[in-house]
Amino acid sequence: MSDRLRSALRWESGLALLVLIIGVVGVTVSAQFLTSNNLFNVGLSYGEIAIMTLPMTLIIISGEIDLSVASILGMCSALLGVLWAKHWPMLGIFALIAVVGLAAGAVNGLLVTRLGLPSLAVTIGTLALYRGIATILLGPNTVANFPATYTNLGVNAVPFTGNAMTYSVALFIVLAVIFGVVLHATPFGRSLYAMGASAEAARFAGIRVKRNKTILFMVSGLVCALAGVLWTFRLDTAVQNNGVGLELDVVAIVLLAGVSIFGGKGSIIGVVLAVLAFAGLQSALLLTNFNQEAAGIVTGALLLLSVFGRNAAALSGRFRKWMPARPGREPGHPAADPSPIPPTASTPP
Amino acid sequence: MSTTLVSRSERPPAAAGPSARRLTERAFRIRESGIIVVLAVFVAVTASVQPRFLNITNIQFILINTTVFALLALGETMVVISRNYDLSVGSVLGLSAYLSANLFGQHHGIPIVAVFLAGLGIGLACGLLNGIMVSAGRVPSLVVTLATLYIFRGVDILIVGGKEVVASSLPSAFLDIPKATVFGIPDLAIAIAVVIGIGAYYLRSFRSGRELYAIGSNPDAARLAGIPTGRRVFMAFMVSGAIAGVAGVLWAAQYGTVDSTAGTGYELQVISAVVVGGVAIFGGSGSAVGAALGALLLNTISSALYVLGISPFWDQAIWGFLLIVAISVDRFISVRLTAALRVRGARHE
Amino acid sequence: MKLRQTAWLTGSLVMVSVLLAACSSSSSSSSSATTSTSTSASSSASSSTGALKTGLKVFIIPKNLGNNYFTTADSANSGGAIAALDTLGETGTETSGTAATPASQIPAIQAAISKGANVLIVSATDPTALCPTLNAAMKRGITVITYDSDAPTCRDMFINQASTAQIGTSEVDVLASELHDTGDIAIVSAAASATNQNAWIGYMKQELTKYPNMKLVATVYGNDDPTTATQVTQGLLEQYPNLKGIISPTTVGIAAAAAVLDTSKYRGKVALTGLGTPDSLKKYVSDGTIKEFLLWNPANLGYLAAYAAVEFASGHINGTQGQTFSAGKLGTFTIGADKTVLLGPPFTFNSSNINQFNF
pLDDT for C142 equals 97
Domain membership of residue B250 (yes or no) is yes
Domain spans of chain A?
A: 2-316
Residue C265 has pLDDT above 90, yes or no: no
Please indicate if any CB of chain A lies within 8 Å of the CB of C110. Answer: yes
CATH topology of domain A2-316: ABC transporter involved in vitamin B12 uptake, BtuC (1.10.3470)
A-contacting residues of B 55-84, CB under 8 Å?
82-84
Please indicate if any CB of chain A lies within 8 Å of the CB of C20. Answer: yes
Per DSSP, helices labelled H in C180-323 are 195-208, 226-239, 251-262, 278-286, 298-313
The DSSP bridge partners found for residue C160 are C342
Predicted confidence (pLDDT) per residue in C323-333, tens digit: 999 999 999 99
Range of the domain at B266: 28-337
Residue of B nearest to A118 (CA): B281
The overall average pLDDT reported for chain A is: 89
Domain membership of residue B123 (yes or no) is yes
Q: Say if residues B84 and A345 touch (Cβ distance below 8 Å).
A: yes
Predicted confidence (pLDDT) per residue in C150-160, tens digit: 999 999 999 99
The overall average pLDDT reported for chain C is: 87
List, as own/partner pairs, every contact residues A22-27 make where C-beta atoms lie below 8 angstroms and the sequence separation is at least 24, other chains included: A22/A276, A22/A277, A22/A280, A22/A281, A22/A284, A23/A280, A25/A284, A26/A280, A26/A283, A26/A284, A26/A287
Predicted confidence (pLDDT) per residue in B54-102, tens digit: 999 999 999 999 999 999 999 999 999 999 999 999 999 999 999 999 9
> Considering only CB atoms, which chain C residues are within 8 Å of A296?
98
Residue B276 has pLDDT above 50, yes or no: yes
A-contacting residues of B 253-312, CB under 8 Å?
268, 271-272, 275, 281-283
pLDDT band at A11 (very low <50, low <70, confident <90, very high): confident
Q: Say if residues B4 and A62 touch (Cβ distance below 8 Å).
A: no
pLDDT for A154 equals 87
CB–CB contact C128 A240 (8 Å): no
Predicted confidence (pLDDT) per residue in A286-336, tens digit: 999 899 999 999 999 999 988 888 776 555 555 555 555 444 444 434 443
pLDDT for C171 equals 96
Domain membership of residue B13 (yes or no) is no
User: Which residues lie below 8 Å from residue A304, measured CB to CB, with a gap of 6+?
Assistant: B133, B144, B147, B151
Q: Say if residues B14 and B214 touch (Cβ distance below 8 Å).
A: no
> Considering only CB atoms, which chain B residues are within 8 Å of A347?
138, 219-220
pLDDT for A2 equals 59
DSSP class per residue in A52-93:
HHHHHHHHHHTT---TTHHHHHHHHHHHHHHHHHTT--HHHH
pLDDT for A166 equals 96
Nearest CB to B166; choose among C238, C241, C279: C279
Domain spans of chain C?
A: 35-161+298-344, 164-295
- What average pLDDT does this structure show over C35-46? 38
Query: In whole angstroms, what separates CA A187 from the centre of its chain?
Result: 22
DSSP class per residue in B40-82:
HHHHHHHHHH-GGGG-HHHHHHHHHHHHHHHHHHHHHHHHHHT
- What average pLDDT does this structure show over B141-167? 95
Percent of chain A residues topping a pLDDT of 90: 78
Query: In whole angstroms, what separates CA B342 from the centre of its chain?
Result: 29
Please indicate if any CB of chain B lies within 8 Å of the CB of C288. Answer: no
Q: Say if residues C305 and C145 touch (Cβ distance below 8 Å).
A: yes
The DSSP bridge partners found for residue C348 are C294
Please indicate if any CB of chain B lies within 8 Å of the CB of A265. Answer: no
pLDDT for A111 equals 97
Angle between the N-to-C axes of helices C251-262 and C278-286, in degrees from 0 to 180, rounded to the nearest 10: 20
Dist. CA A222–CA A284, nearest whole Å: 32
CATH of C35-161+298-344, one of 3.40.50.2300, 3.30.1330.120, 3.40.50.360, 3.10.450.200: 3.40.50.2300
Domain membership of residue B328 (yes or no) is yes
Angle between the N-to-C axes of helices C298-313 and C81-88, in degrees from 0 to 180, rounded to the nearest 10: 40
Total structural domains in chain B?
1
Task: Tell me which residue of B305, B76, B58, B45 sits closest to B184, measured CA to CA.
Answer: B58
Nearest CB to B313; choose among A65, A135, A342: A135
Higher pLDDT, C142 or B311: C142
Please indicate if any CB of chain A lies within 8 Å of the CB of B2. Answer: yes
Task: Tell me which residue of B74, B72, B117, B70 sits closest to B94, measured CA to CA.
Answer: B72
Predicted confidence (pLDDT) per residue in C280-304, tens digit: 999 999 999 999 999 999 999 999 9
Nearest CB to C259; choose among B158, B163, B256: B256
- What average pLDDT does this structure show over A175-183? 97
Q: Which helix (H) or strand (E) element contains residue C132?
A: helix C131-139
Candidates B46, B49, B181, B257: best to mutate against C (most CBs of C within 10 A) is B257
- What average pLDDT does this structure show over C83-103? 95
Please indicate if any CB of chain C lies within 8 Å of the CB of A138. Answer: yes
Dist. CA A170–CA A71, nearest whole Å: 23
Residue of B nearest to C286 (CA): B168
- In the A/C pair of chains, how many CB contacts fall below 8 A? 105
Which has the minimum average pLDDT: A45-59, A88-102, B25-39, C169-183?
B25-39
DSSP class per residue in C88-107:
HT-EEEE---SS-SHHHHHH
CB–CB contact C98 A239 (8 Å): no
- What average pLDDT does this structure show over A69-84? 98
Q: Which helix (H) or strand (E) element contains residue B278?
A: none
- The answer to whether the Cα torsion of A279, A282, A286, A292 is positive or negative is negative
- What average pLDDT does this structure show over A116-130? 95
pLDDT band at B259 (very low <50, low <70, confident <90, very high): very high
Residue B7 has pLDDT above 60, yes or no: no
Q: What is the CATH number of the domain that holds B167?
A: 1.10.3470
pTM of this structure: 0.88
Residue C27 has pLDDT above 90, yes or no: no
The CATH architecture annotation of domain C164-295 reads 3-Layer(aba) Sandwich (3.40)
Angstrom distances, CA of residue B183 to CA of B60, B187, B210, C359: 11, 9, 36, 40
Dist. CA C195–CA A141, nearest whole Å: 9
φ, ψ for residue B316, nearest 5 deg? -65, -40
Dist. CA A280–CA A272, nearest whole Å: 12
A-contacting residues of C 80-99, CB under 8 Å?
93, 95-99
Domain membership of residue B282 (yes or no) is yes
Task: Tell me which residue of B97, B81, B120, B330 sits closest to B209, measured CA to CA.
Answer: B81
Reported ipTM:
0.88
The overall average pLDDT reported for chain B is: 90
